[in-house]
A and B are shown apart, each in its own frame.
Chain A
Amino acid sequence: MSMILTAVLVLLGLALIFGAILGYAAIRFKVEGDPIVDQINDVLPQTQCGQCGHPGCKPYAEGIANGEPINKCPPGGESTIQALADLLDVEVLPLDAEHGEEKPKMVAYIREAECIGCTKCIQACPVDAILGAAKQMHTVITDECTGCDLCVEPCPVDCIDMLPLPTTPQNWKWDFPLPGAAVIATDAQRGAA
């Protein structure tokens, strides 16, 4: 009888000790905020374009954390969907065409002769990448532009173009060797003959 009692008491004591440790750890090592939202937000391309239907990347990250599909981000495209799928351990989905299609990186360009200086694009830019003042010509800081398109709609004289980012020797990339090169020599000779 006393054995059972001892065992129960020992287990009870252990339970109390571990409970205390766990309780302390929960307070001491408490994580502020929702870490998964930040992780998702880091994967998103931060164009802040709103094509997903949210006003920015962070709200979409919160949406994904609450179970929204991961395929609503056209600027991120397939690579972002892949990264999100890896992060959240969910299935890879094809990009939802309803929110737009994946396009090459663009930057906004203001045709300066036509700009009337209305500041509407400046107000629309989510990253403050447009410089100008009322009745003064505006211009886009190319390095800061995320290519989100948001300035195109408000322009009353339609003087903003979205141009693909030019390739320069600085951002040019080496090509991978063509996969077609991996044929056996005799076949290649036959093809040439």
Chain B
Amino acid sequence: MSAASPIRIWDIPGGIHPAENKHQSTQHGIETPPLPKQLILPLQQHLGARAEPAVQIGERVLKGQLIAEASGMISCPLHAPTSGTVTAIGPAPYPHASGLEEWAITLEVDGQDEWTELAPITNYRLLEAATLLEVIRQAGISGLGGAGFPTSVKLKARPEQKIHTLIINGTECEPYITADDSAMRYRAEQIVAGIEILQHILHPEQVLIGIEDNKPEAIAAMRAAVGERSAMQVVVFPTKYPSGGEKQLIQILTGKEVPSGGLPADIGMVCQNIGTLLAIHDAVLLGQPLIKRITTLTGDALSHPTNVEALIGTPISHLLTFAGLQPERLYRLVIGGPMMGFTLQSTAAPIIKTTNCLLAGTQDELPPPPPAQPCIRCGLCAEACPAELLPQQLHFFALGKDYDQLKRQNLFDCIECGACSYVCPSSIPLVQYYRAAKSDIRALDLQQHKSDHSKQRFEHRQERLQREAEQKERDRQARAEKAARLKAAKEAEAAKPSTESANSDSASAEPDVARLQAQKPSGLSPEQKQLKIAAATAQMALKKANKQLAANPDNTDLQAQIPELEQAARDAQEAFDKAQGEVATQPTAEPSAGADDAKKLKIEAAMLRANLKKAERAAGENPSAEQQAELAKLREEAEAAEARVPATATAKKPVDENLKKAKLDLAMARAAVKQTERELANNPEDAALQAQLATQQHSFSAAEQALHEAENNSPIPPPERHKVDKKPVDETLRELKTNLATSKADFKRAERELQAAKDADTDTAPAQEQLTASRAKLDAAAKAFADYMASKETD
């Protein structure tokens, strides 16, 4: 029996005794407000990842139906609190200190309150812990005490650590709040049933139900409900703020401290809130997900302060109206208690799973804080701090934004209870400093994390690019080698017949080698290329038409087209062949310059070497006298050919250098001119810049001249020049182009829509109209573009 074996209780350091103000809201029991017209269900009502909507706009949902799924390990699903229709999924008012909106599912209530099919578990003792944890997770239960950590995750936070003590937090130490108090008074049986479920999951040695001694009715009700259960004990301890903090309660009940930065599970304990136990009871024994909670409505601005069992998502304004809000008396609306709560900016926001209290205070009740005065280093804050921190030091480091020192002073062990601000004779808003410093440090950590991540991604990308470039280079080399081998082999073959039968008319027979040479990269003049392309496209068109004809042979248009296309393809091919024939007879006969000579000699030498090798291989180990003689001859020839090569090859080098230098000079001169032009654009008045530009332009034209000379002097034929417009695209042109592209897209869309309208047999008039409009727009854009281009040409 709990009364027979009183366990020892400890004290926490610090703490304060603010006015309790709890009696106002405990006069009417737990009431149920009428159904609101609309529910706003934020997707983030818990710590962790935002839930993912699982319903569509316009869908009708039933009470208890899943409407958003947990997305990830630390997340919580969300259920419809009543039946109705989903009207919106998007940013909506949200009860948060920032006043910012958050993604939410808005539900239009239909008033029928129709349940979905539930699956209550009658005998959970037959189930395994993991199954029950999954039930709790699927019911969307997160801590109802205030932090909102997903309960199933909390229960198995340290799977390797045996939980020997389960602590039930019925402390509710904040002034004004009586939600847990009334739950214990009127729902004690359900709470104890919830504790038994947790006992079955965790198998703790003892269960301690901690209640402050200012709630005699709750203590009596809980003692009665616990009855003769030996493993459960109701522990009563003196009232002091903030005994209800998880770590503080553990210290009071067991004398043990949770390590800094650790969890209660690290010392074999788990702490659960009264409201969470009720939710677990509903989820397991009734099969109902978490869709309602007990919330305290209090404050002097309400004429009927009370506790309500409200649906999650009920707009705060609805609840306040139920509790008799007197708007003229309302000075500040606080969510949570007066010590740790935050001021709400809009009553359109809903209550969420963690909202345990709405405090509508008058100006007398929640006066504006007096202006802060300088710290007098009295040390009262340090005496009040339940976490044994040094609030004064933290304050000064936060003022100086010395985040390293703040971390060293264990800022993150601060539970933001507000005891230090409460006792401060200088009314310094200490907690606000700590909260700001904490969020700054978190943001910096996040930034550091992100920059590390970016660095990694950047490095991986660099590696990948390098790998790709290397691979490309290797492929290119392999291809070049292969091509060289093929070419050498072909030429060797071609050389044989030409030496053997030199008098046979090789040109007219058009042997492979002639073709090959004609097709060498430099062999095709631009006109020939064009002809070739024309021939190829004509062929393609012909093939396409044939294919289409095969698909629908009745098409007379196509049938008429084909002969035309055939003729066109033949013409193009002929033109190309003719052009090619000219080349084939022309260039190979008379190498024009020294560079070509050197190349030819090289090729000859290579060919001879190849022949020699082949002959050697053919001769094998023991060559006959005949073969030896031939080999010797070939060797001689090859050596002679090689001896001729370098002399001519080296002769061409310096010329090449000159050309290169001239080109480089030109490029540099161009860059200089451009640079100056840019500078000049910034300050057009600068005379020095203008002079500079003139000289640079001069040197540019000189460089151009030099290049032309070098090109003329160079024995290498000038490369084909593809004139590319290197000028940067100017603003107007870009705009025109974009305009043209978008109007084209619009036109196409209109066409598609028209087609769709035709297919669907609906009224095509609007689509037709749209099409005409977009065509006009397209024409206009095309015209503007053409005009602009024409004007550019004339410039």
Contact = CB atoms under 8 A, between A and B. Distances in A.
Contacts of A42: 452
B443 A171 contact: yes
A174 B439 contact: yes
A157 B735 CA distance: 8
A45 interface: yes
A181 B370 CA distance: 9
B454 A177 contact: no
A47 B454 contact: yes
Interface string B731-750: 00010011001100000000
B371 A174 contact: no
| Residue among A128, A173, A176, A183 having the largest count of chain B Cβ atoms under 10 Å | A176
B458 interface: yes
B429 A181 contact: yes
Nearest to B462: A56
A23 B457 CA distance: 39
Interface string B358-400: 0000000000001111100000000000000000000000100
B97 A185 contact: no
Nearest to B95: A169
Interface in A22-59: 41-42, 44-48, 56-57
Contacts of B433: 176-177
B31 to A, nearest CB: 30
Contacts of A114: 738, 742
B373 A46 contact: no
Contact of A173 (B372, B429, B436, B461): B436
Given A46-B454, A146-B454, A185 B742 contact: no
A170 B91 CA distance: 13
A154 B467 CA distance: 24
A182 interface: yes
A39 B374 CA distance: 39
Interface string B77-100: 000000000000000001011101
Contacts of B729: 156
Contact of A127 (B94, B97, B371, B461): B461
A167 interface: yes
A184 B374 CA distance: 8
B435 interface: yes
A66 interface: no
Contacts of A68: none
A176 B443 contact: no
A167 B96 CA distance: 13
A185 B436 contact: no
B455 interface: yes
Given A48-B454, A48-B458, A173-B443, A168 B371 contact: no
Interface in A60-98: none
B44 interface: yes
A57 B398 CA distance: 31
A188 interface: yes
Contact of A177 (B432, B446, B453): B432
Contacts of B630: none
Given A47-B454, A185-B370, A174 B94 contact: no
B738 A188 contact: no
Interface in A102-147: 114, 116, 126-129, 144, 146
B440 interface: yes
A169 B738 contact: no
Contacts of B596: none
B458 A169 contact: no
B741 A157 contact: yes
Given A46-B451, A176-B398, A169 B741 contact: no
B432 A157 contact: no
A158 interface: yes
Given A173-B443, A177-B433, A56 B458 contact: yes
Given A46-B458, A128-B457, A177-B429, A182 B372 contact: yes
Interface string B431-465: 01101111110010011001111110110111000
A169 B435 contact: no
Contacts of A185: 370-371, 373
Contacts of A128: 457, 460-461
A111 B44 CA distance: 28
| Residue among B100, B372, B737 having the largest count of chain A Cβ atoms under 10 Å | B372
Interface string A172-193: 1111110001111100100000
Given A177-B429, A182-B372, A184-B373, A127 B454 contact: yes
Contacts of B373: 182-185
B439 A169 contact: no
B98 A172 contact: yes
Contact of A176 (B436, B447, B452, B461): B436
Contacts of B460: 128
Contacts of A146: 450, 454
Given A116-B741, A184-B373, A167 B100 contact: yes
Contacts of A184: 371, 373
A156 B372 CA distance: 56
A167 B439 CA distance: 13
Nearest to A129: B457
Nearest to A116: B741
A173 B742 contact: no
A46 B741 contact: no
Contacts of A183: 371, 373
Given A127-B458, A167-B100, A181-B371, A175 B436 contact: yes
A80 to B, nearest CB: 10
Contact of A158 (B439, B455, B734): B734
A146 B453 CA distance: 10
Given A183-B371, A188-B371, A169 B102 contact: yes
B400 to A, nearest CB: 11
A169 B94 contact: yes
Interface string B506-543: 00000000000000000000000000000000000000
B461 A167 contact: no
A157 B745 CA distance: 13
A45 B432 CA distance: 28
Contacts of A170: 44
A45 B458 CA distance: 12
A177 B436 CA distance: 8
Contacts of A169: 44, 94, 96, 98, 100, 102
Contact of B98 (A56, A57, A127, A167): A167
B690 to A, nearest CB: 23
Contacts of A176: 398, 432-433, 436-437
A57 B455 CA distance: 8
Given A158-B734, A169-B96, A177 B458 contact: no
| Residue among A57, A116, A174, A184 having the largest count of chain B Cβ atoms under 10 Å | A174
Contact of B457 (A41, A127, A156, A182): A127
Contacts of B450: 146
Contacts of A129: 457
A142 to B, nearest CB: 12
B575 to A, nearest CB: 34
Interface of A: 41-42, 44-48, 56-57, 114, 116, 126-129, 144, 146, 156-158, 167-177, 181-185, 188
19 contacts: A42-B452, A44-B451, A45-B447, A126-B461, A127-B458, A128-B457, A156-B729, A156-B737, A168-B100, A168-B102, A169-B96, A169-B98, A172-B97, A176-B433, A177-B429, A177-B436, A182-B373, A184-B371, A185-B371
In the A-B complex, the 4 residue pairs with the closest CB atoms: A46-B451, A172-B98, A173-B439, A174-B435
Given A116-B741, A158-B738, A169-B98, 19 more contacts: A45-B447, A46-B452, A46-B455, A56-B458, A57-B455, A126-B458, A127-B461, A129-B457, A156-B729, A158-B734, A168-B102, A169-B102, A170-B44, A172-B97, A175-B432, A177-B432, A182-B371, A182-B372, A183-B373
Interface of B: 44, 94, 96-98, 100, 102, 370-374, 398, 429, 432-433, 435-440, 443, 446-447, 450-455, 457-458, 460-462, 729, 734, 737-738, 741-742
